[in-house]
Structure 1
Amino acid sequence: MDAQSVNNEICHKERVSPTNKMISKKGWKAGALLLIVTFCFGMFWYLHVETYLPRTYEPVREMCSVGDVPSKAAIFISNYSRDHPVFLQLSDYFWVKNQSFYELPYGTKGSEDLLMKFLALTNRYHVPPEIERLSCRRCVVVGNGHRLRNSSLGEVINKYDVVIRLNNAPVHKYERDVGNKTTMRFFYPESADFDPNLDNNPDSLMVLVPFKPLDIQWMKIILNNEKRVRKGFWKMPPIIWEVEPQNIRILNPYYMEVTATKILGIDQDQKKKMKAKPTTGMLAITFALHFCDLVHIAGFGYPASSNKKQPIHYYEKVTLKSMAVSGHNITLEAVAINQLLQHRLIQNLTYF
């Protein structure tokens, strides 16, 4: 730039009016503010969504360490023990070895005769040998939450050794987000309105969570093709249900008792007074803490109480309003899950 050009530039700057200077200054401030807002929004998005992005599975496999979960759980859960059988078995009642202090869903007191008849039908009480002999069990409990929708976690979920699904959550048509591998499915009669063949694998274990004696009676009726019972359920369970008897198990109510008293902190007096019971998802997490060497969860958590429109499940449009009559204390469970996450007993594949 020559001397004349420099002089013209200086003269131009000197001719800028105060108004133009003010506009220029305001424009600069507006631009700076826009940059700050954009940066803050970007950071918020990153912190909120980054934990929701699918993680690669290879590092997860390397992390599995035998004894890690039990050692941490023993600190968090009083009288923690892995000595209890996973599923109920006939020998527990045939010789009256298992004398429970509690009735269902926290124990089997008063249901021994019914259990003997049911367990004699299935003649299966154990975990499949291919799972039992694993040196380190890597498990994922797949919740039914809406945050699984469009998560693209299907391939990640399929790579775990044990995939636990809940109630009537479908797999068919949602494979991209939830995978298609099912090792165990926890359910109860009212939540059995799914196709056992379409949404499970041929060798998937159908794990009955008995909340009441009628739940065991329903399963016995289905397997033995007896006259159907229609009363006593809060929602009518399936009347025709095609399932292989050898795939049926009954979860030991011990895990429900631990969930209520040691994870959620409900004392014995409260259990007798309150109708609220732990959700199947919370129960499945407790079970995994006693059975697995690495526990991950996905699809847990509900919308904010102020959000009346967002669905709570990835597969249907039911909103939070439906939980008001469910009898579940989801606030208490959210606190418990956050504590488990903070103590690194579990890890989350989605945000919570």
Structure 2
Amino acid sequence: MSCLNSEQPAEGGEMLPDLAMVYSDEDSLEHVKMFQMSTKTLWLWLLLVFLLLTYYKGTNKSSNSSMLPCGGLLTQHKWERLNLNISRQTHLFLEMKDFFWHKHLSNQTLPYGIKGNELLLLKIISKVQINYVPDNIENLRCRTCVVVGNGFSIKNTSLGSAIDKHHVVIRLNDSPVRGYEEDVGGKTTMRLFYPESATYNPNLQNNPDTLMVLVPFKQEDLHWLKAIVYKEKIVSKGFWKHPPLKWLGDISKIRVLDPHYLHQTADRLLHIPLHSNNRKPVHPTTGILAVFVALNYCDVVHIAGFGYPSSKNQNHRIHYFGYDTIKSMKNSYHDVQHEADALKRLEDLGAIVFLHPHT
């Protein structure tokens, strides 16, 4: 009796299918399915690797980049590394609510507190600060900021376009922008100043939406601001340099920096005595104060135009504008070398990044 095989016709004269062929077709289909799944998995892995490489590249940009990675956790760790024993604070300016919710807003007098000037400040603030910081900046999940110093070191750096890419650009005192855009940019979000460093027409060197942030060092500074806000006669007595007797700026853009920042800059960052028995006190510069403000408010902090030339050359210019020299700083109330050391520590900790080479 012969065995049934693929060559043998079945009943009805039809050929039975070759079992080996059946199994072969099923195996092929399975192989196709497995190949398709493997290909899909491979593409997913390639996509994941691409995204990781893109992220890694973005987080390892050079110090000349206009942006750096940021996030709440990263920023908090960076702040904690400063070891200042104070909390990070993003509330920058004095507000009306400060005066109504606290019995004792400050136990320090100017420039490190407002003790004795509460009523004067209340009159000023009641007239200004309808909007404290624009929502398009305040609501950012990650704020990239640059503090543009007035130092000669920024000259011929061509950093203007990189500076303008930051969300917040902080400038100091009466530093000009027009004619210097190639190096310093043209955008100004905040300008920290005091009466002696003010210009009579801030519209000439600032954007229409620039916040003019007063840093009050003495009671005369607040009287000067009150006279501007209420259109009163400005008295120049009590200033080391005549402030503008007329101010053409937008009053709604005026802000008053919380003295907390100057206090902590002096006490925790620079470790200088708040009240000295010496006739010549030492106070932080507006520049180092702006850096400390940025460290609190911003997630990424870049700086440019900081650092003074060697004091060996007394005729070396110290600003990218004007003709002031090292010699003109002889009677300064600032310890610039001490501040340079503080900036170096911040740089070493990764808290700030210089946008240009420096010494």
Determine if the TM-score, normalized by the shorter chain, exceeds 0.5: yes
Q: Give CA-to-partner distance per residue, 1:221-244, whole Å, 9 cap, x none.
A: 012110221200000000111111
Gaps of 5+ in 2: 1-61
Q: Could you tell me how far apart the structure 2 residues matched to 1:64 and 1:344 are?
A: 12
Deviations 1:135-162 (A, max 9, x none): 1000000000011111110000000000
After superposition, residues 178-193 of structure 1 pair within 5 angstroms as: 178-193=184-199
2:246 matches 1:237: no
Render the CA deviation track for 1:22-50: whole Å, top value 9, x for unaligned.
xxxxxxxxxxxxxxxxxxxxxxxxxxxxx
Aligned-partner Cα distance in 1 for 2:344–2:63 = 20
2:214 to 199, 203, 208: 208
Q: CA deviation at 1:102?
A: 0.5
1:294 paired with 2:300, answer yes
Cα 1:318–1:123, aligned 2, differ >3 Å: closer, same or farther? closer
Deviations 1:280-308 (A, max 9, x none): 00000000111000000000000001022
- State the partner residue of 1:121: 127
Contact 1:168/1:194, CA 8 A, preserved across alignment: no
> 1:202–1:231: structure 2 CA closer, same or farther, 3 Å change rule?
same
Aligned residue for 1:350, secondary structure, equals coil
Question: Structure 1 residues 305, 350: CA separation in 2 closer, same or farther (over 3 Å shift)?
Answer: same
Residue from 73, 77, 81 that aligns with 1:71: 77
Residues 274, 259 of structure 1: alpha-carbon distance in 2 compared, 3 angstrom cutoff: farther
Q: Is the 8 A contact 1:148 1:299 kept in 2?
A: yes
Over the aligned positions, Cα root-mean-square deviation in angstroms equals 1.9
Match of 2:345 among 339, 342, 348: 339
TM-score (norm 1): 0.80
| CA pair 321-138 structure 1, distance change in 2 beyond 3 A | same
Report if aligned partners of 1:144, 1:299 keep a CA contact under 8 Å in 2: yes
Superposed, 1:154-233 pairs within 5 Å as: 154-193=160-199, 195-233=201-239
1:348 match: 354
Paired with 2:277 and 2:150, the residues of 1 have a C-alpha distance of 26
Q: CA 1:56 to 1:331, structure 2 compared with 1: closer, same or farther past 3 Å?
A: closer
Tell me which amino acid in the other structure corresponds to 1:240. K
State the shift of 1:206 in Å.
0.4
Task: Give the equivalent residue in structure 2 for 1:29.
Answer: none
Change (3 A) 1:272 1:345: farther
- What is the alpha-carbon distance in structure 2 between the residues aligned to residue 277 and residue 73 of structure 1? 23
Q: CA deviation at 1:70?
A: 3.0
Q: Is the 8 A contact 2:114 2:259 kept in 1?
A: yes
Within 5 Å, give how 1:3-14 maps onto structure 2. Answer: none
Residues 124 and 249 of structure 1 are in contact (CA less than 8 Å); yes or no, is this contact kept in structure 2?
Answer: no
Q: Counterpart of 2:29?
A: none
Q: Aligned residue for 2:64?
A: 55
Larger Rg: 2
Structure 1 residue 262 corresponds to structure 2 residue 271: no
Match for 2:64: what amino acid?
R
User: How far off its partner does 1:246 sit?
Assistant: 1.2
Looking at structure 1, the residues matched to 178 and 70 of structure 2 have their Cα atoms a distance apart, in angstroms, of: 29
Shift in Å, 1:195: 3.4
Residues in 2 aligned to 1:189 and 1:112: alpha-carbon distance in whole angstroms? 19
| Alpha carbons 1:73, 1:80 under 8 Å: kept | no
Letter in 2 for 1:91: K
SS in structure 2 at match of 1:297: strand
1:309 and 1:272 map into 2 onto residues whose CA distance is 29
Q: Distance in 2 between matches of 1:66 and 1:84?
A: 13
Quote the residue 2:321 is aligned against. Answer: 315
Aligned to 2:118: 112
The residue that corresponds to 2:309 in the other structure is: 303
Aligned residue for 1:221, secondary structure, equals helix
Secondary structure (helix, strand or coil) at the match of 1:67 reads: helix
How many residues are paired up?
297
Q: Which segment is superposed worse, 190-199 or 155-164?
A: 190-199
Deviations 1:45-76 (A, max 9, x none): xxxxxxxx99243xx24x23333333222232
Letter in 1 for 2:201: D
Structure 1 gaps of 5+ residues are 1-52
Aligned-partner Cα distance in 2 for 1:317–1:84: 36
The CA distance in 2 between the partners of 1:335 and 1:201, in whole Å, is 33
Pairwise CA distance, 1:351: 2.7
Separation of aligned partners in 2, 1:272 and 1:246: 39
Letter in 2 for 1:55: N
CA distance, structure 2, for counterparts of residue 298 and residue 147 of structure 1: 8
